[in-house]
Structure 1
Amino acid sequence: MSHPPLSRRAVVGGLAAAPFVVRAARAADGPVRIGELNSYGRMAAFAGPYRNAMQLAEDSINKAGGIKALGGRPIELVFRDDGSTPGDAVRVAEELLTRENVAFLCGTFLSNVGLAVADLANQRKVLFLATEPLTDALTMGSGNRYTFRVRPNTYMQTKMLVEAVKGRGIKRWAIVAPNYEYGQSAAANFKRLMAAAVPGFEVVAEQFPALGKIDAGATVGALAQAKADGLFNVLFAADLTAFVREGNTRGLFEKRIVASLLTGEPEYMIPLGDETPEGWITTGYPWESIDTPGHKAFVAAYRARFNDTPRLGSLLGYVVVHMIRDLLETAKSTETEAMIAALEGLTSETIAGKVTMRALDHQSTLGAWIGETALDGRRGTMRNARYADGADYMFPEAEVKAARKA
């Protein structure tokens, strides 16, 4: 049987289509590319160890055969700095999606940046696994079906602290927090939860210095004048160091209960050194006292590769990449809808214990360690630390449903 000769248009068209077919085949067989954007410049103390541990986990998974449900495809993390501003982050996220052809987005540090990328994910209908931003809004009033969060939010961590201090009988409190979404959210949660837990609770002073621009002398002076019996601190990074130094000098913390978010994280304890105040009730990461086999193996591998001790960012980065592995193994696809379906309700066994992504609000049950700050020689540490399972501190389901409908 003879065939009619091919026209020039058909030949050219076929040749033009061939590269597309080759690219599609390579994409199906090549790495699963994941766009990771974070404040690597401005928040290097956290983001650097976070990236280190992500790369450690990435290498471990790929050496073990990659994503088996996808034929052994390796994962490839594409790291970018988000500029620490909403505008820069949205631009970087767009570039990851269009130029780097990533399957989905993960990361961000600052709460306002995370909210901006979440909004973009909703508009573009792409998965966004927010790893670090803590604002409640991300999974509550501003939540969307494309955005999931790994770390415990401000409500969860503040509730852990309130549980730890409510029996102390302290009613007069002062608050100091950075003046942006995370700080405002934490302060509001503290007022709400303490008012419900402690009869007669009152806030006698509030200070909201600009993020990264604290006038420590003025802030400490205003808090000292209020003569509160308790202090709720939300400051972190360089603001925390300046505040603690000035507070120590002026005796602000003497004979006063201090409840502090994040201060027990090595990222913030290491810069404080021998200036670490003792006895603050805080959330953190006492890596040296966690003796589960999986965590000890992680610490050994991290120290061997980076010649350094892990930070909270390290733990988070390692957990996130293994959650991503479990997501892809369950979804058996990089299609957005398949990944969303897989992630809702997904349970991962991690070095921090079992972590489940609650389908209702896309908030994971990853917890935090609660303890007290202490000095070990010239370095800060945590004593009397215990792990608080995030599943015990999440927003009530009725409240989530009301917030996400609004």
Structure 2
Amino acid sequence: MLTRRSALYVMIGVGAAAWLSTAAVGQEGEPIKVGEINSYSALPAFTEPYRKGWQLAVEQINESGGVLGRPLEVISRDDGGKPGNAVTIAEELLSREKVDLLAGTFFSHIGLAVSDFALQKQVVFLASEPLTDALVWEKGNRYTFRLRPSTYMQSAMLAREAADSEAKRWAFVAPNYKYGQDAVAAFKKLLKEQNPEVEFVGEQWPALRKIDAGATVRALEAAKPDGIFNVLFGADLAEFVREGNLRGLFKDRTVVGLLTGEPEYLLPLGEEAPRGWIVTGYPWYDIQDPAHKKFVADYQARWDEDPMTGSLVGFNTILSIKAAIEAAGSTKTELLVQAFRGLSVETPIGTIIYRKVDHQSTMGAWVGITRWREGGGYMTGWRYVPGQDVLPSTEVADEMRPDDSVDSVK
């Protein structure tokens, strides 16, 4: 049951929802409409907390007077994990719902598809979650901005840790699409730069959500690596960990996991949660910053559950949109583009900035070690790595952008 006098209107037959808090006082004019697209049915473990995060932000913003004195409305739709669906939905949101900008997506190939659509239609798209580097570099465009730290950024965090380990022979397992491919390529490059003596001895590329865990584990074992770089998540990660534990794959090996420390993926593993892996994740339970503690308390009070990584991403997505509209003083596309470039946003984890050169935000991630305690896996010995510490220079990023990018600093 919804609280704070919010209303959720389900549009029968299209799987869409409009979220508009009605508690704001003194708001005038039509709502500012955000068209939000995500893979809710395909990956609920991440996207459901994400939705609760942005819903909380919308409620709080509207209860505080809205944006530019107007209520903020999110019209949300489920792409079912298919790029074609996402593009069709984006078209409907623009033409039928008359949204002012687009946001969301999870899978990298879907984010790239919506980004291309945004370029064609000249509409702002804030990519909340897709991690592929291509989104802001080789396929970046004037209208697309990205919130989460990319595969390059998180791989850079982990490569620093891996380079200090004793592992010299490395094997890789990653889902066979853009996210996994980018993560492995970045980790290899960065690890080799920091430790030229490392060797790469094996790779496994299971199809997304179709892993044959037994065959994957046997192939990795046959490569006889000292270290394993794992990029799997969700159900694929669970099957891989279970099979790897059974076969002793992880024993006496350095294992590095991109995203493995995120509670939406770590907690479902229960007692099978890996011990001693070096991971990126979100140790919300130990972060003591007052702004973050307030976010956690508000989230728990609103939803009667603990936040996940997706919760923070959803919350920060709406905060970013609010900040951009207020900086622009308008919802007009060109003014929003200029506002987003170099935009500073106050979030529960500190200030983040959307870089002018590549439209990547400086939101960071936490690096730590997985452990298990009663109730599930968690991260210990963690440290927060700001995004700006692991991004390439503006000159390097500019070189990776398309030559015809309007945002080039050349």
User: For each residue in 1:98-155, what CA deviation from the matched residue of structure 2 results, as whole angstroms up to 9, or x when unmatched?
Assistant: 1111000000000000000000000000000001000000000100000000001100
Q: Given the alignment, which residue of 195, 199, 202 partners 2:196?
A: 199
Q: Which runs of 4+ in 1 moved over 2 A?
A: 395-399
Partner of 1:284: 281
- Residue 124 (structure 2) pairs with residue 108 (structure 1): no
Partner of 2:172: 175
Alpha-carbon distance, 1:405 to partner = 3.4
Partner of 1:306: 303
User: For each residue in 1:128-184, what CA deviation from the matched residue of structure 2 results, as whole angstroms up to 9, or x when unmatched?
Assistant: 000100000000010000000000110000000011221113210000000000001
Partner of 1:238: 235
Partner of 1:216: 213
- Residues 264-283 of structure 1: pairs in structure 2 closer than 5 A: 264-283=261-280
What SS does the aligned partner of 2:192 have?
helix
C-alpha distance in structure 2 between counterparts of 1:171 and 1:320, whole Å: 39
Q: Given the alignment, which residue of 334, 338, 341 partners 1:341?
A: 338
Q: Once superposed, what is the RMSD of the aligned Cα atoms? A: 1.1
Partner of 1:117: 114
Give 1:260's aligned amino acid: G
Partner of 1:355: 352
Partner of 1:48: 48
User: For each residue in 1:39-61, what CA deviation from the matched residue of structure 2 results, as whole angstroms up to 9, or x when unmatched?
Assistant: 01001110001011111110101
C-alpha distance in structure 2 between counterparts of 1:123 and 1:377, whole Å: 51
Give 2:327's aligned amino acid: T
Q: Given the alignment, which residue of 78, 82, 86 partners 1:85?
A: 82
C-alpha distance in structure 1 between counterparts of 2:395 and 2:279, whole Å: 28
* TM norm structure 2: 0.91
Partner of 1:387: 384
Partner of 1:250: 247
Partner of 1:18: none
Q: Is the 8 A contact 1:155 1:395 kept in 2?
A: no
Q: Given the alignment, which residue of 147, 151, 158 partners 2:148?
A: 151
Alpha-carbon distance, 1:301 to partner = 1.2
What SS does the aligned partner of 1:279 have?
coil
Q: Is the 8 A contact 1:172 1:201 kept in 2?
A: yes
Alpha-carbon distance, 1:28 to partner = 8.2
Partner of 1:35: 35
What SS does the aligned partner of 1:365 have?
coil
Alpha-carbon distance, 1:398 to partner = 2.5
C-alpha distance in structure 1 between counterparts of 2:311 and 2:100, whole Å: 23
C-alpha distance in structure 1 between counterparts of 2:161 and 2:365, whole Å: 13
C-alpha distance in structure 2 between counterparts of 1:259 and 1:191, whole Å: 12
Q: Given the alignment, which residue of 136, 139, 146 partners 2:136?
A: 139
C-alpha distance in structure 2 between counterparts of 1:365 and 1:399, whole Å: 16
What SS does the aligned partner of 2:73 have?
strand
Alignment length (residue pairs): 377
User: For each residue in 1:257-314, what CA deviation from the matched residue of structure 2 results, as whole angstroms up to 9, or x when unmatched?
Assistant: 0011000001101110110011100000001001111111111111111111100000
C-alpha distance in structure 2 between counterparts of 1:403 and 1:91, whole Å: 29
* TM norm structure 1: 0.91
C-alpha distance in structure 1 between counterparts of 2:387 and 2:194, whole Å: 19
What SS does the aligned partner of 1:36 have?
strand
More helix per residue: 1
C-alpha distance in structure 2 between counterparts of 1:178 and 1:28, whole Å: 47
Give 1 or 2 for the bigger CA radius of gyration. Answer: 1
What SS does the aligned partner of 1:29 have?
coil
Gaps of 5+ in 1: 1-26
Alpha-carbon distance, 1:85 to partner = 1.3
Alpha-carbon distance, 1:245 to partner = 0.1
Q: Given the alignment, which residue of 157, 161, 175 partners 2:158?
A: 161
Q: Is the 8 A contact 2:137 2:402 kept in 1?
A: no
- Residues 13-32 of structure 1: pairs in structure 2 closer than 5 A: 29-32=29-32
Alpha-carbon distance, 1:394 to partner = 0.8
Partner of 1:98: 95
User: For each residue in 1:44-98, what CA deviation from the matched residue of structure 2 results, as whole angstroms up to 9, or x when unmatched?
Assistant: 110001011111110101111111xx2x101101110122111111001101111
Gaps of 5+ in 2: 1-26, 404-410
C-alpha distance in structure 2 between counterparts of 1:200 and 1:85, whole Å: 41
What SS does the aligned partner of 2:164 have?
helix
Q: Is the 8 A contact 2:119 2:142 kept in 1?
A: yes
C-alpha distance in structure 2 between counterparts of 1:285 and 1:400, whole Å: 27
C-alpha distance in structure 2 between counterparts of 1:238 and 1:309, whole Å: 21
Give 2:391's aligned amino acid: M
Q: Is the 8 A contact 2:140 2:402 kept in 1?
A: no
User: For each residue in 1:300-346, what CA deviation from the matched residue of structure 2 results, as whole angstroms up to 9, or x when unmatched?
Assistant: 11111111110000011111111111111111100000001111001
- Residue 39 (structure 2) pairs with residue 73 (structure 1): no
What SS does the aligned partner of 2:242 have?
helix
C-alpha distance in structure 2 between counterparts of 1:273 and 1:93, whole Å: 38
C-alpha distance in structure 1 between counterparts of 2:70 and 2:210, whole Å: 45
C-alpha distance in structure 2 between counterparts of 1:117 and 1:320, whole Å: 16
